[in-house]
Homo-oligomer: A and B are copies of this chain.
Amino acid sequence: MDQKNSLSDVEVTVNGTRKFAVPTHETLLSSLTKAGIMLEAACGGQGFCGKCRIRLLSGQVVDQQGSPLKPGQDGWYLACQVYPGEDLVLERAIQVSVSSKGEISDPFLEQADLLPPLKKVLIRPVYPSLENNYSLQEMIRQVFAGEEDISIELRAVQELALIAPQKFEEITVLRSFKQIIGFEPGDTSSTLYGVAFDLGTTTVAGMLVDLQKGKVIAAAAETNPQTAYGADVIARIKAAGTEDELNTLMSAVRKCLNDLVAKLCARAGVANKDIYLVTVAGNSTMEHLLMGVSPKYLTVSPYVPVFNNLPHFSASAIELDLNPGASFILLPNIAGFVGADTVAAIVGVDQDLTSKLTLLIDLGTNGEIVLGNKEKMLVCSTAAGPAFEGAQLSSGMRAANGAIDEVEIRDDVCVHTVKEELARGICGSGVIKAIAEFLKAGIITPSGRFVSNDRFALLPPKLSKRLKVQEGQKEFVLVFAEESASGRDIAITQGDIREIQLVKSSIFTGIETLMENYGVMFKDIEQVLLAGAFGNNLNLDSALAIGLLPSAERKKILPVGNAAGTGAVKALLSVDILERCRSIAQRAQFVELANHPGFQAKFIKNLTFPEGV
């Protein structure tokens, strides 16, 4: 066996950056895992969870017997089911995934050189003597001689004063850019953690990162507590009308960040005081609210933010319970409704580095679209998400337990719910799948209308009795009251379908407008990256069926998971990436859709669903 191993090693290249030898007798999942590339494999490599997906750019994979295999319908293989038949160049589905060791791996992270903006520097101070009667401040400055403008923060001076009389041989200096932010006696350089926050309108995600190793060691998410004050940014801005209200919303989200820090620390067994750096990527409104800056101006034409790029602060400025000297970096905004989350998503997928013409669609509560590459990027924002996230629909809910997330319509309706609990409502992916099924079954027309009662009567009887009229509006019941957890019908109304049409048209029209501005067509686009918490769960077939993207582009589409989160993590790890964020915020050109000639006409045209699904 050993001999076979060495004889049959082939070379695998992953995501263009990692290259290593793997044996032909092991599944790719196993080999990649050993090489430190963690794929999600919820079923433990048994081939049914469908998460360990890879795509071949060159080479051939085989089954255990050595027979060549073809990819699945979507162009992907499952790494747990295939063996390398020869040298391979492959891509894997990009998704921050937790390994069994609790370490989280992301291929884009692996590419980042570790140059965190916060460093621990171990020094052996030369204490003042009668010959060298400099101040302690000068003693430290001499260590960083040649860096004229380095300065020591007051808190750090206070710490230095407390530890210096004990004349430790070694002192660990905490350094953030040109500022010394803390001192610790002895050598503490092995513990240095950061937290990256993806501050969404609906969901706040936190990633705890070991800054020495460049690894995400824990991840957690919470519902943004501001949702109690409105589902979307406009509602939030209204809710923060007075200074008191602004403070309320500010405090709510700051508390949420602290709750996440507590969760992350508990999960990873890390102490708050060992977290020294924070990055936050949020949309402009979320960033304004976090910083206690009134977002009112965002609602005044021409809808600009108060700030794009704030200097680095102490994390205590936003009341985070971390090391008292911890630094806090708010990633920069591009425009009023294209925030730092988009900047982070761009660096998350390296769109600013690639020469490939890339379409990045980040679907959250808002939908941001970026078209371009390292030469030029156009961005726009659409009011995408609440409907896609299940909000603003008559039976909508988030993808929590009991949410309908799968719908199949043949003779009757068959639904699947999260955790297979009794149905409580329908989440975004369920709605889209339902509408795709409606189209296929002829329940609605491409115009989005329920077919006439006459034609409805021609459907299988179990379907026809699901059409009801409530308060003068047609609706199609997916789960009747007697079978639902709520005791009420779970239905999709004509209004719900209109809501989804508005959203899908917004996004599609946004894409069209950017393409027109860029002077390109769909065929010119080399890759379509689908990002966002929603991008992950999106049933791609359904999305194409309802016309979110042209079906012809299917092969170019790559789901990239929480790209903004990845970007926020990368920003923790490298000053170069922070610099890229600043550069993107300045270079990316914002396209205001509403003012764009022809936007209205395009928007109305795109309300229609595709024919002949």
**Contact A165 B296, CB 8 Å, known A157-B310, A158-B291, A291-B154:** yes
Q: A151, B311: Cβ atoms under 8 Å? A: yes
Distance between Cα atoms of A243 and B161 in the complex (Å): 11
**Contact A135 B305, CB 8 Å, known A291-B158, A313-B154:** yes
Which residue of chain B lies nearest to A163 when distances are taken between CB atoms in the complex? B294
**Contact A592 B306, CB 8 Å, known A292-B158, A294-B162, A300-B165:** no
Q: A297, B133: Cβ atoms under 8 Å? A: no
Which residues of B are found within 8 Å of A128, using beta-carbon distances? 302, 304
Which residues of B are found within 8 Å of A590, using beta-carbon distances? 133
> A295 interface residue, CB < 8 Å from B?
yes
**Contact A304 B158, CB 8 Å, known A151-B311, A296-B165:** no
Distance between Cα atoms of A164 and B304 in the complex (Å): 11
Q: B301, A157: Cβ atoms under 8 Å? A: no
Q: B311, A135: Cβ atoms under 8 Å? A: no
**Contact A157 B592, CB 8 Å, known A138-B308, A164-B306, A306-B136:** no
Number of copies of this protein chain within its complex: 2
Q: A293, B157: Cβ atoms under 8 Å? A: yes
Q: A297, B134: Cβ atoms under 8 Å? A: no
Contact pattern, A 278-310, Cβ under 8 Å of B = 1, otherwise 0:
000000000010011111110011111111111
Query: Nearest-CB distance from A238 to chain B (Å)?
Result: 13
Which residues of B are found within 8 Å of A458, using beta-carbon distances? none
> A537 interface residue, CB < 8 Å from B?
no
> A6 interface residue, CB < 8 Å from B?
no
> A1 interface residue, CB < 8 Å from B?
no
Contact pattern, A 587-604, Cβ under 8 Å of B = 1, otherwise 0:
000101001000000000
> A317 interface residue, CB < 8 Å from B?
yes
> A129 interface residue, CB < 8 Å from B?
yes
Q: B165, A135: Cβ atoms under 8 Å? A: no
Contact pattern, A 132-175, Cβ under 8 Å of B = 1, otherwise 0:
01111110000000000001101001101110110000000000
> A427 interface residue, CB < 8 Å from B?
no
Name the contact of A129 in the complex, choosing from B134, B288, B302 (C-beta under 8 A): B302
Which residue of chain B lies nearest to A330 when distances are taken between CB atoms in the complex? B154
Number of chain A residues close to chain B: CB under 8 A: 48
> A366 interface residue, CB < 8 Å from B?
no
Distance between Cα atoms of A577 and B302 in the complex (Å): 45
Most buried by B among A152, A288, A307: A307
Which residues of B are found within 8 Å of A293, using beta-carbon distances? 154, 157-158, 161
Distance between Cα atoms of A295 and B157 in the complex (Å): 11
**Contact A295 B592, CB 8 Å, known A302-B129, A311-B151:** no
Distance between Cα atoms of A129 and B301 in the complex (Å): 7
Name the contact of A306 in the complex, choosing from B135, B288, B306, B311 (C-beta under 8 A): B135
Query: Nearest-CB distance from A579 to chain B (Å)?
Result: 15
Which residues of B are found within 8 Å of A310, using beta-carbon distances? 154, 157
Query: Nearest-CB distance from A338 to chain B (Å)?
Result: 11
Which residues of B are found within 8 Å of A302, using beta-carbon distances? 128-130, 133
Q: A294, B130: Cβ atoms under 8 Å? A: no
> A97 interface residue, CB < 8 Å from B?
no
Distance between Cα atoms of A335 and B130 in the complex (Å): 12
Contact pattern, A 84-101, Cβ under 8 Å of B = 1, otherwise 0:
000000000000000000
Which residues of B are found within 8 Å of A300, using beta-carbon distances? 165
Query: Nearest-CB distance from A174 to chain B (Å)?
Result: 17
Query: Nearest-CB distance from A335 to chain B (Å)?
Result: 7
Name the contact of A243 in the complex, choosing from B151, B162, B307 (C-beta under 8 A): B162
> A333 interface residue, CB < 8 Å from B?
yes
Q: B130, A161: Cβ atoms under 8 Å? A: no
Q: A160, B301: Cβ atoms under 8 Å? A: no
Distance between Cα atoms of A293 and B333 in the complex (Å): 38
Distance between Cα atoms of A293 and B152 in the complex (Å): 13
Contact pattern, A 109-136, Cβ under 8 Å of B = 1, otherwise 0:
0000000000000000000111001111
Distance between Cα atoms of A581 and B287 in the complex (Å): 40
Query: Nearest-CB distance from A119 to chain B (Å)?
Result: 20
Q: B164, A133: Cβ atoms under 8 Å? A: no
Distance between Cα atoms of A293 and B135 in the complex (Å): 13
Which residue of chain B lies nearest to A155 when distances are taken between CB atoms in the complex? B292
Q: B154, A296: Cβ atoms under 8 Å? A: no
Q: A161, B595: Cβ atoms under 8 Å? A: no
Q: B335, A164: Cβ atoms under 8 Å? A: no
Q: B157, A306: Cβ atoms under 8 Å? A: yes
Which residues of B are found within 8 Å of A154, using beta-carbon distances? 291-293, 310, 313, 317
Q: A306, B160: Cβ atoms under 8 Å? A: yes
Q: A595, B306: Cβ atoms under 8 Å? A: no
Q: B304, A134: Cβ atoms under 8 Å? A: yes
Distance between Cα atoms of A292 and B136 in the complex (Å): 16
12 contacts between A and B (CB under 8 A): A129-B302, A133-B303, A135-B308, A135-B336, A154-B293, A154-B310, A158-B291, A158-B293, A162-B294, A164-B297, A164-B306, A165-B300
Q: Besides the contacts A135-B304, A138-B308, A164-B306, what 15 more A-B pairs have beta carbons closer than 8 Å?
A: A130-B301, A133-B302, A133-B303, A133-B304, A133-B592, A135-B307, A136-B297, A137-B306, A151-B311, A154-B310, A161-B293, A161-B295, A161-B297, A162-B294, A165-B296
Report, nearest first, the 6 A-B pairs whose CB atoms are least far apart.
A161-B294, A137-B307, A161-B306, A133-B302, A128-B304, A161-B293
